Amino acid sequence: MRISTAWSQQLSFNAMSSQQTKLAKLQQQLSSGLKISAPAEDPEAAARILDLDKSITKTEQYQSNIATTRGRLNLEESALEAANNIIFKAKDLTIQAKNDTLNSSDRLAIKYEVDQLLEELAGVANTQNANGEYIFSGDLATVPAFARNATTGEYAYQGGLQQRALQISTTRQVADGDLGFNVFEHINSSSPAADENGKRSVFNTLKALSDGLGASLNATAGVITGDRFLRYGLDYSAATVQFDLIANGGITAPIDLSGQQFAGVEDVVTEINSQLTAGGFSGAIQARSNGNKIEFASVATGATSSIQINNTSGTFLADAGFAAGQVKAGVGAQTFQAQLGDVLTDLDAALGSFLDARSSVGARLNALDNQESQNEKYVIDTKSMLSETQDLDYADALSRYQLQFTALQAAQQTFTKTKELSLFKYL
């Protein structure tokens, strides 16, 4: 085989170029600290690195969610503790007010204290976090959990129906708060003033205490309230919807919402009251809003007062959260001592509700701590795997660099010697 001078030099040049390329690659690895500078160098390892990076980023977001949830739950715990203290103070005042030796002036002074406690409790129930979100409003965090009804003077829940939850792992979510409806409103009651489900809000309990201390022991009207929120309104533009409202066991008012569309609960109330007025029933029956819910009340008061709803056609009862035939009678004026006895019982029930909520908060805080530890270990393990995949072993790389540099020097010296070979020197 004949090897020309040009070919011999080309072979030497190729050898030097190959060694320089390998040396440059090692220099790049040493400067970056990474085994792979471009995905093309090792596509399988590059894909694995991307997956590990994504997994770490996602888990770090879970850790951030845990910190956020913990802060919100700690704020709720503080609010529940404050509410607990308010109710204990209200119990002390109630026991004090039951003393028959007190005169009307003494009870009026206690009433003023109760009124302040009521406002303070409403403030606690409308606690906001650093972002201005109402912690007891669930998925309607921008809306105050409770608002005072201008018609009745009672506080009504107007927050959301769903708890908010944050993802703390791939398969786990934790609620970052409790619904004010469950904590403050939907409380078991033994009072005749309880709703048709045997519930009374702690606000109404304190209001009853205040009314009694002010000698306002008036009879109450029959009232039924739907349990579904009408925040998105009702659309009956293509439906027949009719039902009857029956007051005091005999006055029947037919209501027809067929073919109409309502943006919200206030629009529904306005239309129903308009029909009641047109039919001459406004002196017996009234529709009104209660937060995001609708309720119907008998205008009369006392034990003979009652309100009932019966379906004729359509889905209004189900849409608004009523049951066919649902009825509630009014309550006659209670004696002062009987009313205060009911108040004490209901305040104890409220304390039980707060305790349940606090227990739930504690359980979730423990769950956050456990999950945080798991996530932290997972991040450490995943970073270790990522390091093994992408990080350079400097000791090994420096050793290879030295060998490569020696090989390059040898190739260069070989090229120098080969270039000096020529037959012309022997002529």
Pair 70, 202 in one domain: yes
- Tell which of 333, 356, 382 closes a domain: 333
Q: Tell me 29's DSSP state.
A: H
Pair 245, 209 in one domain: no
Within-domain flag for 4? no
Pair 341, 329 in one domain: no
Within-domain flag for 34? no
Mean pLDDT of 210-230: 84
Domain count, the chain: 2
Within-domain flag for 235? yes
Pair 342, 205 in one domain: yes
Within-domain flag for 402? no
pLDDT score, position 117: 97
Within-domain flag for 172? yes
pLDDT score, position 151: 76
Within-domain flag for 10? no
| pLDDT tens digits, 93-124 | 999 998 888 888 888 999 999 999 999 999 99
| pLDDT tens digits, 320-377 | 999 999 999 888 777 778 888 999 999 999 999 999 999 999 999 999 999 999 999 9
Q: Which of 266, 291, 49 is nearest to 181 (CA)?
A: 291
Within-domain flag for 100? yes
Q: Tell me 421's DSSP state.
A: -
pLDDT score, position 37: 62
Least trusted range by pLDDT, from 5-9, 145-149, 191-195:
5-9
Pair 356, 317 in one domain: no
Mean pLDDT of 276-299: 92
Nearby residues of 285 by Cβ (< 8 Å), 6 or more positions away: 245, 247, 251, 253, 276, 296, 297, 298, 299, 307
pLDDT score of 31 more than 80:
no
Does residue 165 contact residue 174 with C-beta atoms inside 8 Å?
yes
Q: Give the separation between CA 127 and CA 8, rounded to whole angstroms.
A: 86
**What residue numbers bound the domain in which 57 lies?**
41-216+336-391
